[in-house]
Amino acid sequence: MPVLGEANELASLFDKCGARLYLVGGAVRDAFLDRLGPGSDLDFTTDALPERTEQILRGWADSTWSQGKRFGTIGASRGGRRVEVTTHRSEEYDPSSRKPDVVFSTALEADLSRRDFTVNAMAISLPDVVLVDPFNGVADLSTKTLRTPLAAEASFTDDPLRMLRAARFIADYGLEPAPEILAAVGRLRGRLDIVSDERIREELDKLIVVPDPSAGLWFLVRTGLAEEFVPELPALALEQDPLHRHKDVLAHTIAVVQRARPDRLVRLAALFHDIGKPKTRSFGPGGTVTFHHHELVGARMTRDRMRALRYPTEDTEKVVKLVELHLRFHTYGLGWTDSAVRRYVRDVGDLLEPLNELTRADCTTRNAAKAKALSDRMDELERRIEELKDKEELAAIRPDLDGLEVMAHLGLKPGPVVGRALSYLLELRLDEGPHAHEDALALLDQWWSSQPEAGQSG
């Protein structure tokens, strides 16, 4: 493990001060899995008290910070590598809060026992490089099992966010939750209400950007945990019957999330893109099922859910727009003029590439011919967009004249009439492409001659 060589220098400093230093947690786990990159942050634990740790790090690091000092954590950075060193500690939780009372300790095993999962409850002593694994985390990595160091019920009672974190480890590391974890989450999922919306949002974001979040999303649904913070997801498990057969919307949604590239906003849009279907489902003749305007209903529902989870407004509006427009491409099969392509680019704006990505991911049909036809149409549309961009600078579509030119030519003062004139010119630009300056002035004159305000300017 090359990273151990980088840590030994720091460990030697602690050793000279009569303290022990251990590499701990995720760094140990990822080192065993060969997932520890050269720039990975490192977490350490020590029997030195925070004040002593701070003194040692100040003589070694480029910079240090102590915001977590009351919890025993001192942070440092050296050569671009960030490290955190935390004094061994044990914790006691108030049932009404996930914020523990921290007691510093000299016992490493007590410190490891408070960790969320056994695969994170391992340490390597430095500089002698001895594995400390009291809860068999290495064995659980080998058998791909997710367990808690102590009883799952006690662990999740202490910190309910661990239930949501379990979904990420299941998905990212391919772990199978032990039966006691499933049982404990089923019983304790309501305790998630003591966790802040912001922390829940952070964990959801971490889950959906792992390479394949499917197993984690299924865990959330099957344990009932999703009901506590994103009930729209399990609601997609629409009841099916022999007469009215239709696609399993929940399975489809999770498949779309998996197919989309691991971009946070694209994955969120994939997660929410069909949440309007339960509210818009209707049955027609012959057992047909329709979800008319589910994209509009879903966009409103997406905004409400993302606001509830305290997402930034900018993120919310982007995801809402992707959900609202995710069906737009499907009318392309009816044939789009250049005008329609321009409008598509104008309406989508800087979300063009994410929307096309979502559209491709949304094709989960097992019919190879249908899938190829959709892919070919999207390829064709993207080629047409590039061709028009080369000719017309589509990304910056605007009227052929600006407001000052309109006012000067028509003798107008600033006001709503100028806005109407610019809207008219923009519609022409979208329909017909760019016009020469003189042609644009002639078109403006033609429009102006039909306006009631003509002759009243000046």
- The predicted-structure confidence for 151-204, as pLDDT tens digits, reads as follows 999 999 999 999 999 999 999 999 999 999 999 999 999 999 999 999 999 999
What is the predicted pLDDT for the residue at 458? 45
Of the pLDDT bands very low, low, confident and very high (cuts 50, 70, 90), residue 93 is low
Query: Higher pLDDT residue, 284 or 74?
Result: 74
Percentage above 70 pLDDT, the chain? 91
Of the pLDDT bands very low, low, confident and very high (cuts 50, 70, 90), residue 55 is very high
Domain 2-137, what fold?
A: Beta Polymerase; domain 2 (3.30.460)
In the chain, domain spans: 2-137, 398-448
| 117 vs 159: CA distance, rounded Å | 12
Residue-averaged pLDDT of the chain: 88
Of the pLDDT bands very low, low, confident and very high (cuts 50, 70, 90), residue 399 is confident
pTM higher than 0.85: no
> Which residues does 365 contact at the CB level (< 8 Å), separation at least 6?
371
| 46 vs 89: CA distance, rounded Å | 9
Which of helix, strand or coil describes residue 416? helix
Q: For the purposes of burial, counting CB atoms within 10 Å of the CB of 159, is it exposed (0-12), middle (13-18) or buried (19 or more)?
A: buried
Of the pLDDT bands very low, low, confident and very high (cuts 50, 70, 90), residue 449 is confident
Of the pLDDT bands very low, low, confident and very high (cuts 50, 70, 90), residue 432 is confident
What is the predicted pLDDT for the residue at 454? 74
Average pLDDT over residues 218-225: 98
What is the predicted pLDDT for the residue at 200? 97
What is the predicted pLDDT for the residue at 184? 97
Average pLDDT over residues 216-237: 96
* Element containing residue 166 per DSSP (H, E): helix 161-173
Choice among 257-271, 391-405, 425-439 with the minimum mean pLDDT: 391-405
Most confident region among 212-221, 245-254, 391-400 by mean pLDDT: 212-221
What is the predicted pLDDT for the residue at 196? 95
| 229 vs 331: CA distance, rounded Å | 34
**pLDDT greater than 90 at residue 444:** no
Closest Cα partner for 347 from 394, 280, 310?
394
What is the predicted pLDDT for the residue at 313? 97
Of the pLDDT bands very low, low, confident and very high (cuts 50, 70, 90), residue 328 is confident
The residues with which 78 forms a beta bridge, in sequence order, are: 81
8 A C-beta contact, residue 163 and residue 185 = yes
Token readout for 34 is 């060969």
> Which residues does 295 contact at the CB level (< 8 Å), separation at least 6?
273, 276, 323, 324, 325, 326, 327
**pLDDT greater than 50 at residue 244:** no
The residues with which 90 forms a beta bridge, in sequence order, are: 103
Question: Cα 188 vs. chain centroid, distance in angstroms?
Answer: 25
| 249 vs 367: CA distance, rounded Å | 17
What is the predicted pLDDT for the residue at 409? 86
**pLDDT greater than 70 at residue 334:** no
What is the predicted pLDDT for the residue at 292? 83
Of the pLDDT bands very low, low, confident and very high (cuts 50, 70, 90), residue 385 is confident
